[in-house]
Amino acid sequence: MVAKNAGLPATPADLIDVDEVIGKYYDIVPDVNVPEQRVSFGTSGHRGSSLKTSFNEAHIVAISQAIAEHRKAAGITGPLYLGRDTHALSLPAWKTAIEVLVANGVRVRIDSRDDFTPTPVVSQAILTHNRAADGTQRFSGDDLADGIVVTPSHNPPTDGGFKYDPPTGGPAPAETTNAIAKRANELLPDFKNVKRVPFEQAVKSDLVERFDFRKHYVEDLGNVIDFDVIKSSGVRLGIDPLGGASVNYWPLVNEVYGTSIEVVRPQVDPTWRFMTIDHDGKIRMDPSSPYAMKGLVDSLNNGAWDKYDLVGGTDPDADRHGIVCPDWGVMNPNHYIAVVVEYLFGKDKNGNPNRPDWPEGTGIGKTLVSSSLIDRVAASIGAKLVEVPVGFKWFVDPLFTGEVAFGGEESSGMSFLRKDGRVWTTDKDGLIPDLLAAEITGKMGKNPAELHKDQVARFGESWYKRIDTPTTLEQKQKFAKLTGDDVTATTLGGEEITAKLTKAPGNDAPIGGLKVTTKNNWFAARPSGTENIYKVYAESFDSPETLDKVLEEATEVVDKALAE
């Protein structure tokens, strides 16, 4: 259900009290016996709010100590790259982490300008550090680097987040985060086994090394994006960082590559008072949400389009992107992914490959709840499709090894290889999709929305939706035990069911739920990791009415399976 104030400007009542949020970070001590107050890593780290006693100083002390111990046990001896976004809780947590990491003898690399550091920039720094002299990526050995990004991504201003990236540069696998969380919760009741020094002492330590994240990342961008096309075509690109960590990166892009990218809204404000309200009535900095981006879109439609050919957006840690086109608005992330993969794996107007040096036979990675339009595009260009469970962590190893050249998910996260076929980042990168939109427009002569219209004419129009359904903890636990036999229905949306999946076809990993497909319809259901709900994703290439029918039947199928 969409909130009544969705898409409307934020009011004073919607804004956080920054002093209260930061004060409670230090003042409130969590109770490890309360499940909601324990350390818990989701697909993108530990997240919570100081106001709810789920993201407080004690959590970060414990997690940082657990990470220091993990590094020692794993033999990780290189620097730890530490980044942070613009959320109010990010700077306090960043300082806490430095206090603990330095006390444990960890070399910590922080931004030389004391500026914000996007998630993909940390990933790129880790991978570059760990590259061998012959250009290959090292899996093991001396002086391997890893990293931490202090961010809750696009979550509301009240929230904080803390995620660990191992030497592979992307989100840590579950076995790693489970071990870190377990140790952190052991440390929470008392800190007798925690090492810590005051911040002013820690930050002056020889263990803290200044590193120019921005220069390192921006000067490498030319190896993944064709800036010559952007410049020669004259495409006018605007960027809305949504008050996030990428805000100061775009001016350096212009300086290094001679582009004329304009930052549409350069404001950085931890209350995000300049946002419009998202679908659920909260301030959420999601560049792919039509509700969160409505203020920007309205200003563009009221005359600002005279300055731009397209506008891109990034969220607070710049791991998500959004693409806004004239006469279209915010593109659905699924639609942009389909355009991107056809471009990257395809040819230009003259029949020349757009990425000629990519490994032959490399695949297109997608999450199993992403649009089947991507499947149809992949089949049309003869590209291998690798479908994985929900979560970008499933693309880390495939991108790292080159099994896939592109990894993308329905929630507007993607990354892809360098032009020479080597790994770029193994975490989501919100900057390169925005730049690629300008490259695509310059080379193809059409913007991504226009190219999507062309795809619809060739592959058919689809309708896609996600709904959340209340459930119990007991029912959530049953999801992991579901099998195809639990689905007794034989049709979905009026078509014969062709597959009942509980494992992802791309890597045979459990999906934690269920996916049911027909020729033109599908649904997938999985429980939320943080709330007592389950999510149902569905798509139909038939009609909006069929999509509603698929969603109705999906809920019946799941409820019946969980009740048995």
Extract the tokens encoding 317.
């840690």
Is residue 364 within 8 A of residue 374, CB to CB? The reply is: yes
Helices (H), 78-134: 90-103, 119-129
pLDDT in tens, 387-426: 999 999 999 999 989 999 999 999 999 999 999 999 999 9
pLDDT at 533: 84
pLDDT band at 43 (very low <50, low <70, confident <90, very high): confident
Give the list of residues 6+ apart from residue 351 with CB closer than 8 angstroms, or none.
none
Between CA 328 and CA 390, with CA 451 as vertex, the angle to 5 degrees is: 85
Containing 535, the helix (H) or strand (E) segment is strand 533-540
Give the closest residue to 222 by CA, choosing from 234, 231, 213. Answer: 231
Give the closest residue to 25 by CA, choosing from 76, 106, 88, 77. Answer: 88
pLDDT at 468: 86
Containing 479, the helix (H) or strand (E) segment is helix 473-479
To the nearest 10°, report the CA torsion of 400, 320, 326, 14. Answer: 180
CA–CA dist 54, 358 (Å, integer): 44
pLDDT in tens, 256-287: 999 999 999 999 999 999 999 999 999 999 99
Residue with tokens 């259901």: 525
Extract the tokens encoding 204.
């002056």
pLDDT in tens, 512-542: 999 999 999 999 999 876 667 889 999 999 9
Instruction: Extract long-range pairs of 457-461: CB within 8 Å, 24+ residues apart.
Output: 458/380, 459/373, 459/376, 459/377, 459/380, 460/376, 460/520, 460/541, 461/541
CA–CA dist 560, 487 (Å, integer): 8
Q: Say what the pTM is.
A: 0.96
Q: What's the whole-number mean pLDDT along residues 366-372?
A: 97
Residue in 50, 153, 411, 412 annotated catalytic: 153
pLDDT in tens, 210-246: 999 999 999 999 999 999 999 999 999 999 999 999 9
Extract the tokens encoding 440.
């695509």
Q: How many CB atoms are closer than 10 A to CB 17?
A: 13
pLDDT at 481: 82
Angle between helices 431-444 and 333-344 (to 10 degrees): 60
Is residue 509 within 8 A of residue 174, CB to CB? The reply is: no
Residue with tokens 């998202």: 278
Q: Which DSSP category does 372 fall into?
A: T
pLDDT in tens, 117-141: 999 999 999 999 999 888 888 877 8
CA–CA dist 473, 451 (Å, integer): 44
Res 509 pLDDT > 70: yes
HSE value, Cβ hemisphere, 13 Å, CA-based, for 81: 31
**Residue 15 burial (10 A CB sphere; 0-12, 13-18, 19+):** middle
Q: What is each CA distance from 179 to 19, 40, 165, 248, in whole angstroms?
A: 33, 11, 14, 36
Domains of the chain, with CATH numbers?
Answer: 17-216 (3.40.120.10), 463-563 (3.30.310.50)
Backbone angles phi, psi at 359, to 5 degrees: -60, 135
Is residue 316 within 8 A of residue 352, CB to CB? The reply is: no
Backbone angles phi, psi at 378, to 5 degrees: -60, -45
CA–CA dist 62, 97 (Å, integer): 9
Containing 183, the helix (H) or strand (E) segment is helix 174-187
Is residue 67 within 8 A of residue 148, CB to CB? The reply is: yes
Q: What is each CA distance from 35 to 45, 161, 279, 430, 530, in whole angstroms?
A: 16, 17, 28, 33, 11
pLDDT at 530: 62
Helices and strands, number each (H, E), in the chain = 17, 23
DSSP character string of 46-89: EEEEGGGTSS-HHHHHHHHHHHHHHHHHHT--S-EEEEE-SSTT
**Residue 306 burial (10 A CB sphere; 0-12, 13-18, 19+):** exposed
pLDDT in tens, 461-496: 999 999 988 888 888 888 878 888 888 889 999 999
Q: What's the whole-number mean pLDDT along residues 11-20?
A: 98
Between CA 111 and CA 119, with CA 115 as vertex, the angle to 5 degrees is: 75
pLDDT in tens, 67-80: 999 999 999 999 99
Percent of the chain whose predicted confidence (pLDDT) is above 70? 99
Q: How many CB atoms are closer than 10 A to CB 541?
A: 21
pLDDT in tens, 417-459: 999 999 999 999 999 999 999 999 999 999 999 999 999 999 9
Is residue 330 within 8 A of residue 242, CB to CB? The reply is: no
Q: Is 153 a catalytic residue?
A: yes
| Mean of pLDDT over the chain | 95
